[in-house]
Every structure is written in structure tokens, then in C-alpha cells.
Amino acid sequence: MRRRLETLERTRARLSSLIPLYEETYRRGADSGAVEVVEAHRRGADSGAVEVVEARDRVMLLISDAAARCTQEVLTVQPGGGRPPGYLERALPRDLEMLGRGVRLQTLYQHTARYSPGTQEYVRAVSAAGAEVRTLGELFGKMLVFDRATAFLPVWDNPDAAVVLREPSAVAFLCSVFANAWSLAEPFSASYTATTSTQLQDTIAGRLADGAKDELIARRLGMSLRTCRRHIAELMDDLGAESRFQAGYLLALRSASAAPPATDPHRATT
């Protein structure tokens, strides 16, 4: 499990390396009317282009258009805990319509979304229609992928904008990242299971051992700062640590003792 989580962390770093491309495309992004955006998006479907749409209403228009044209599969990643009620109200009819047409829908949330009443209601509705929903302690970023052909990604310095990615190799890479995270995730339920609790504790422990601040840990796990600090206090109590420094030291020792012994590549095997 730890090795697979480390693989996911390396994947997150690879995705971060795409930021310069997104930023360059963002600077070149042109403002146009909503209809022109959709038409240009459709004309460029086979061009392998990277497009940045700056306005939220135009992003929503493109997502609605992609959903209407989708015939096979939608992959979604929604980090940050429970989703805003307004977003869920807009997404539910669209997602139910796709499911009604036989489109497969797979969605990843963070474990903390399990305690969001609005998210629980949404998940119950789409699951009844055939959607698959799972949760993971830590995710690599928000994305939507339609028919393994078109991906929507966030623009890091503009929450209202989105990157629309159609380059086949890049989209295939994102799908492989999703598949890896999906294999680690647990089915959505309205409570924590033993597995999800352990994953959450391990993730917090890893971040604490790395010296991350409470605010960063809370943000990465999609939980409030107060909840994060409660988890950290419980972890320190379990370790018998009196300070964060001591807790980090004890966690590092525990991690080292749990690591498999190194093998000598020059040693002959029989």
C-alpha cells in the first residue's frame, strides 16, 4: 500500500511539471463568446490542442457540451472534501442524464467528503442510477475526462478558468493516473471504515514526518484545520510524543523499521 501511495505521489509531481504548459496557454487564451467557444472546441477536437477558457460560465458550457456528446465513460476527481451544494444541484441532472444513456461514471472523492450531507445525497442518487463512487485520503487534483478523449483541468492561478486538454498521449496519461488512484480507493459510504481511517492516519503521519504545517496537511486532505489538529493530537498521543518534533522523529523511526531490508545487487542468488 505504501509503495502504491508513493507511486501516486510521484504521479502528482509529474502532473505538476505540466504547469508551465498550462500557464503559457493561459497567457495566450483569447476571450470569445460562448457559442464561439463551443464551436472552436468542436473544430479542434482532432487537433491535439491545449485550450484555456477563462470564464466560469464558458467552462460550464463546454463541460455541458462534452457531457451531451459523451457516449462511453466519464472519469471525475473531486478533491477537497464535500462539494458546494450549488455545484451538486447543477451536476446531478447532467450526470443522471448521462447514466440514463448508458454512460459509465466513475468519481473519486477524498475520505472527508463522506461527512458532507449534500455529497451523500448526490452519491446516493447517482449510485442508484449506476455510477461508481470511491474515496481516497489524498488526491492529485481536480479533473474530468470524457470518453478518454477530452480532459478538463484547473488553472492554478484562476479558479474560474479551466484547461481543456485533447492531446491523446496526455489524456491517456491522466486516465492511467486515475486508474491507479481508483485501485487504491474505497467505496463511498457515509462513515469511515477501518481501512479509510488507517489510510487517513497514515497520510497525516507521513505529512507530519515530512515537517508539513497543519494548514498544508488540512488543505491536502480536504478537512478543516480544527479537524486536522484533532487528528494530529490523537496521533501524538498514540506515539507518546510531547512535541511535533518528537512525533516526526518517532514517525521517521517507525517508517525506517517498517521498510523492507535492502538487497545486495551483487550477491548471487540460488
| CATH class for the region spanning 194-256 | mainly alpha
Q: Is 101 exposed, middle or buried (0-12, 13-18, 19+ CB in 10 A)?
A: exposed
- Whose CA is closest to 206, among 115, 198, 186, 240? 198
DSSP string, 1-42: -HHHHHHHHHHHHHHHTTHHHHHHHHHH-----HHHHHHHHH
| CATH class for the region spanning 2-187 | alpha beta
24/51: higher pLDDT: 51
pLDDT category, 70, cuts 50, 70, 90? Answer: very high
Question: Tell me, what's the pLDDT at 219?
Answer: 76
In whole angstroms, give the CA distance from residue 156 to residue 24. Answer: 12
Residue 13 has pLDDT above 80, yes or no: no
22/103: higher pLDDT: 103
Question: Tell me, what's the pLDDT at 6?
Answer: 61
Query: What are the residue ranges spanned by the domains of the chain?
Result: 2-187, 194-256
In whole angstroms, give the CA distance from residue 60 to residue 182. Answer: 25
In whole angstroms, give the CA distance from residue 167 to residue 172. Answer: 9
2-187 with 194-256: one CATH topology?
no
Question: Tell me, what's the pLDDT at 25?
Answer: 46
Q: Which of 205-214, 232-241, 257-266 has the lowest mean pLDDT?
A: 257-266
**122-151 average pLDDT score:** 93
Query: Hey, what's the cell of 256?
Result: 525506517
pLDDT category, 38, cuts 50, 70, 90? Answer: low
Query: Which tens digits make up the pLDDT trace of 81-133?
Result: 777 778 888 899 999 999 999 999 999 998 888 888 889 999 999 999 999 99
Strands of the sheet containing 73-78, edge to edge, are 50-53, 158-165, 150-155, 143-146, 73-78, 104-110, 132-136, 186-187
246/184: higher pLDDT: 184
263/14: higher pLDDT: 14
